[in-house]
Amino acid sequence: MVLEDLPPAPDGAPEVAFDWLLASPTHTRRDVVEERVSISLRSQWALTVEREPKSATLHLPERIPTAAIVHPYSTMCLSILARWRGDLTLHGGAFVHGGAAWALCGDRTAGKSTMLGLLAGRGVPIAADDLIVVGDREALAGPHC
């Protein structure tokens, strides 16, 4: 599967195997152990992320557009993998000013997307709109909404 809506990975980024299966989870669960995270919401979706080899498996009850797999499902996978790598992951947006990325974080409905839209309308470059990964003095964007 080609996930065209993902931003390009930086040079040297690890490869992650991503599988999508047509299946309905039978129960809700959250299982977090050192090498694996498994999350499911009964009859809606399930996701398992493995630390090594780096992989993610998504179970959905029906076919959906590839863009919907990229966001929100791959965002969860990438956030988990980035945390395992030691990076800081933030649910929020970021814009570029003065050669640096500035993060906008807040609760749901706090106005992050509205502010990013206003900034973009004024020509301010938007670096991320949902997931920010910070590591090695660098801010990386997750998949766009």
Confidence band, pLDDT 50/70/90 cuts, at residue 123: very high
- Please compute the mean of the pLDDT values over residues 55-71 and round it to a whole number: 86
Q: The domain containing residue 105 runs over which residues? A: 89-141
Q: 77 lies in a domain?
A: yes
Q: 7 lies in a domain?
A: no
pLDDT in tens, 73-86: 888 888 999 999 99
75 shares its domain with 101: no
Q: 9 lies in a domain?
A: no
The residue among 47, 109, 54 whose CA lies nearest residue 72 is 47
The residue among 81, 96, 103 whose CA lies nearest residue 35 is 81
28 shares its domain with 82: yes
Entry pTM: 0.80
The count of domains in the chain is 2
75 shares its domain with 94: no
82 shares its domain with 97: no
Q: What is the pLDDT of residue 95?
A: 96
Looking at 41, 68, 86, the residue that finishes a domain is 86
93 shares its domain with 108: yes
74 shares its domain with 94: no
pLDDT in tens, 107-118: 889 999 999 999
Q: 115 lies in a domain?
A: yes
Q: 108 lies in a domain?
A: yes
Q: What is the pLDDT of residue 34?
A: 92
The residue with greater pLDDT, 27 or 55, is 55
- Give the separation between CA 80 and CA 47, rounded to whole angstroms: 11
Q: What is the pLDDT of residue 145?
A: 57
Q: 11 lies in a domain?
A: no
